[in-house]
Amino acid sequence: MSPVMIDLLLNALWETVIMTAISGLFSLLAGLPLGLILVMTSPGGIAEHRGVNRVLGLIINGFRSLPFIILLVALIPFTRFLVGTSLGTWAAIVPLSITATPYFARVAEVSLRDVDRGLIDAVRAMGASKLRIVWDVLIPEALPGILAGFVVTLVALIGASAMAGAIGAGGLGDLAIRYGYQRFDTAVMVAVIAVLIVLVCGIQWLGDRLVTRIDKRR
């Protein structure tokens, strides 16, 4: 590969990291509260409310059922309204965040549901408030599973960011399509695939190490 192509590859890698990191942060900040609400308002939860639980579940399932490429195109007017354009790295962050949030909400919900019900009941019997139960019991006990699910979400976002390259979102996907596919440059395609594999494996390895360190059950 030429020095120019190497520069393009490094720039595309940086764009992919930016898209994944920022949309991952949005999914964490929005998805975790949604997962908590789903668990708290479920039947037998500490703030049981079947109506809220049912409506929120339907909304989350609705967004999760949409293939990312369809959501990407459907959100073009909304993306253009928010960031002023539907092309480029910052424009891709909008649909990436929206598609990752319900996904992570369900992942977080599964981890939160695994918290020992007896422990929650014991804390409730001691007079703890709902907020105290969330901060002192639910989140700490489910943290290893939540973190593991967040790592899976980041990996899924890397794949989605590559798909977003099909409509000019930048990043490794855009580089692979414009130079590897449209110009039939096999070296570029192989390099992009190799970088994606290393990136995914690196994130998964770091995530697994962190989960192992904070998991009190090990």
Tokens standing for 138?
Answer: 């639910």
**Digit-coded pLDDT (tens) for 62-92:** 988 888 888 888 888 888 888 887 777 888 8
**Helix (H) or strand (E) run with residue 20 in it:** helix 3-40
Tokens standing for 112?
Answer: 């939160």
Long-range contacts of 1-5 (CB under 8 A, 24+ apart): 1/187, 1/188, 1/191, 5/179, 5/187, 5/188
Give the domains, in start order, of the chain with CATH numbers.
3-214 (1.10.3720.10)
More confident residue, 214 or 55: 55
Question: What Cα–Cα distance (Å) separates residue 164 from each residue in 87, 124, 176?
Answer: 10, 46, 11
**Digit-coded pLDDT (tens) for 12-26:** 889 889 999 999 999
**Digit-coded pLDDT (tens) for 32-67:** 999 999 999 988 888 888 899 999 999 999 988 888
